[in-house]
Amino acid sequence: MISLTGLILLLFAVTVDGRIGDSTSESSYCTETKECFLFDLVCAGDGYEVRHYEAAKWVTTEAESYFMEIATSRAFRKLYKYITGENEAGATIDMTAPVLIKVNNSTSMWQPSVYGLSFLLPSKYQANPPKPTDASVYLTDTPDMKVYVKSYGGWMISLVAKSQVETLKTSLDNVKATYETEYHYNVGYNSPMKIMNS
């Protein structure tokens, strides 16, 4: 496995407080950050899991491109500036995991799409994060939610991610599950620079 990535299709949502914790937690896929978005495993299906995540605060931006990789590279630079001090407090903020990429399901392969990229804010900043100084960067909240997750290894590239989404949708359709169909999230836990497990 080169890096751990995954897909999330939303099941349902209601708001409460988030659980961001130590990356050494038993339910953590994080290996490169101090803190991670923790979850409770609700159940496992054939090739997927149902996980419960509590509400959390993120910093988000968007970028448009024909390719997810180009859009996320552009968006990453903006969010990186935010966590390295381009915020109203001038605070340097630790990187956490995972990174979320919101993908519109109605966009075809040869059509530009707007991708949302979000960094999870560390526990220290969940209650009162510094405001971004870049108007295209903003704070967002994910609600308390249960999600369907399909984990897979390797780099998160458009064609692979799209194939994994279709596999997950087929599994969910086979059990007549209901889920959000307008968008899904690609989720990265490792740096794109990581070559092998270590």
CATH 3.20.80.10 fits domain 4-188: yes
For the segment 51-89, what is each residue's pLDDT rounded down to a tens digit? Answer: 999 999 999 999 999 999 999 999 999 999 999 999 999
Residues 6+ apart with CB under 8 A from 10: 145, 147, 179, 180, 184
Mind giving me the DSSP string for 144-177? EEEEEEEEEES---HHHHHHHHHHHHHHHHHTT-
- Dihedral sign for Cα atoms in the order 3, 149, 156, 93: negative
Q: pLDDT exceeding 70 applies to what percent of the chain?
A: 79
For the segment 155-182, what is each residue's pLDDT rounded down to a tens digit? Answer: 788 888 889 999 999 999 999 999 999 9
Residue 8 has pLDDT above 70, yes or no: no
- Tell me the range of 1-5, 36-40, 50-54 where mean pLDDT is highest: 50-54
The upper half-sphere exposure of residue 91, i.e. CA atoms within 13 Å in the direction of its Cβ, equals 14
Segment 23-41 mean pLDDT: 72
Q: What is the CA radius of gyration of the chain?
A: 16
Residue 36 has pLDDT above 90, yes or no: no
For the segment 117-141, what is each residue's pLDDT rounded down to a tens digit? Answer: 999 999 999 999 999 999 999 999 9
pLDDT at 5 (0 to 100) = 46
- Dihedral sign for Cα atoms in the order 52, 55, 59, 63: positive
pLDDT at 17 (0 to 100) = 43
d(CA 74, CA 65): 9
pLDDT, averaged across the chain: 85
pLDDT at 152 (0 to 100) = 87
pLDDT at 12 (0 to 100) = 37
Centre a 10 Å sphere on the Cβ of residue 10 and count the other Cβ atoms it contains.
Answer: 18
pLDDT at 172 (0 to 100) = 95
**pTM, rounded to two decimals:** 0.85
Residue-range domain boundaries for the chain = 4-188
| CA-wise closest residue to 126 among 147, 111, 141, 109 | 141
pLDDT at 9 (0 to 100) = 58
